[in-house]
Structure 1
């Protein structure tokens, strides 16, 4: 995906940036269409597969002053063992150009936009599905990586620790980890994870972003219920609760008694993850991570008009 936020951050830190992206692949190649790297005068980030191709294009990017498209036969031209060929697009960005990019789909090519591209964009808008990165009829199309989503993990027990261990490796998320006391967290919390000890977790829920995803798995059913009630009142993008069918049936009745409509209660998923994988904490976490990854493959509510 096109990491718009990462490109903007790179422009803010380093000024002029060249984004080098694989536009298309024929045969065998180290990376797929859409793989990209950012290059600036004193460094680079990301990878298009390493080796001679990456070295050559990174060096060329530092001298580049305007967008360039190039084709490389990996074996004959570069001596790489891959037998395929790649078409590359190198684009020069400053901060203004990066900020002007759409938030959902980036499509660019020679004017006028072909009918095939207009149809692809319309289908993406109507069906809500992100198209893969591709070069089509001379136009490069890439879905934009959504801005980081907030995930709040409620509970620092075995499942909570497994969720943090797995989700911290999944790009595109900010993790906030809450429990009733600082002593409940492990001694070494991974970088990038914000811990919040709070005696009253349901009260803390009122301060979570309305667009956050929530995973409730504390040590006490009354705290879990209080969090469900607080989050239904607060609002959320998604909410998952660990528990059995019996626990969820009881919670549904009590949440209805607390004044929540059935359609609101049904927005809470119980149990979390994929039950077919089993109840091991890390298998639960893998199921959760898979579902979150699936949720990023849809068009955001606001689709830019590119035609």
Structure 2
């Protein structure tokens, strides 16, 4: 369960619980300001980064619960005080959970959930399902779309399964800045959906499963329609050129990293050089040709 859901369960059961929040993070720190963790006498949910900082926070939260305190604060220079090599400074707030705090947490979590970037996966075959499973644990709103309802059984709870007779309607209704992954059971459907995603002009990422030959066929089709330049914004094959492993789970892992870099890069203070190759897959950057 999420931090907020764990907090709700504890309050509902009458189990004393505390919410630990990173109020301020300066310099190099394990996590950023705003992250939270729920602590009870026996369990925790979430993380403020692990290590000695988290251990001490859990210990202080449990001491608060045992003593009857309502709140506490911790201000820690990570290097001098607890020997964590990241060396920044973290300020924590610890609050005893009650119904009001729970309601605020649930509302905040729902707001953040709705604001997550959208990923639309077209095709619930082996690779589509593997990709949905890989993305299910990430801070994304994932939709797995197929015209065959039977293929959508058993997908992770965090993934929205959509049985769509007209899957192209999902593209028309998607929010700006979404990512589109196309891997259906038919090349003609792949081409139609990918062309529709590219035509929007506001996609963060458009990827299609396939080969250099498939890319060339699609390029010729776009060119015949007067849309040749669109191919520059297409990632095909997905997952990058480093590995030529065709196992669905491997393709899913490589593609998940590619998508996540595109969708979350705007939320980072800066991109380091080691992310530059993956960032070039994004439609907001010059796309590399994989054909």
Q: TM-score per shorter chain, which class?
A: 0.5 to 0.7
Partner of residue 34, structure 1: 31
Counterpart check, 1:222 vs 2:188: yes
Offset at 1:71? 5.6
Gaps of 5+ in 1: 1-5, 27-31, 101-143
Q: Which has the higher contact order (CA 8 A, sep 6+)?
A: 1
**Contact 1:146–1:172 (Cα < 8 Å) also in 2:** no
Give 1:291 shift: 1.4
Contact 1:153-1:215 within 8 A present in 2 as well: yes
Does the 8 Å CA contact 1:47/1:54 hold for their aligned counterparts? no
Query: Which has more helix, going by share of residues?
Result: 2
Secondary structure in 2 aligned to 1:89? strand
CA spacing shift, 1:71–1:83, aligned 2, 3 Å: closer
Root-mean-square deviation over aligned CA pairs: 4.6
Of residues 151, 158, 175, the one that matches 2:119 is 151
Unaligned runs of 5+ in 2: 12-17, 96-100, 271-291
**How many angstroms does 1:255 deviate by?**
1.6
Deviation at 1:53, TM superposition (A): 1.8
Tell me, yes or no, if the aligned pair for 2:113 and 2:141 is still in contact at 8 Å.
Answer: no
Deviations 1:84-133 (A, max 9, x none): 5885411379899xx99xxxxxxxxxxxxxxxxxxxxxxxxxxxxxxxxx
Q: 1:17 to 1:291 in 2, by over 3 A?
A: same
Residue 142 of structure 2 is aligned to residue 175 of structure 1 = yes
Q: Hey, what does 1:47 align to over in structure 2?
A: 47
Encode CA deviations 1:38-93: one digit per residue, 9 max, x unaligned. 3589996313438852432323666365754146899xx9xxxx975885411379
SS at match of 2:134: helix
- Aligned match of 1:56 in 44, 48, 59? 59
| Number of the residue aligned with 2:168 | 202
Q: Is the 8 A contact 1:21 1:34 kept in 2?
A: no
Encode CA deviations 1:173-212: one digit per residue, 9 max, x unaligned: 1110111120222x31211111111222224321222321
Distance 1:268 1:211 in 2: 15
**Aligned residue-pair number:** 241
State the partner residue of 1:253. 220
Cross-structure match for 2:261: 294
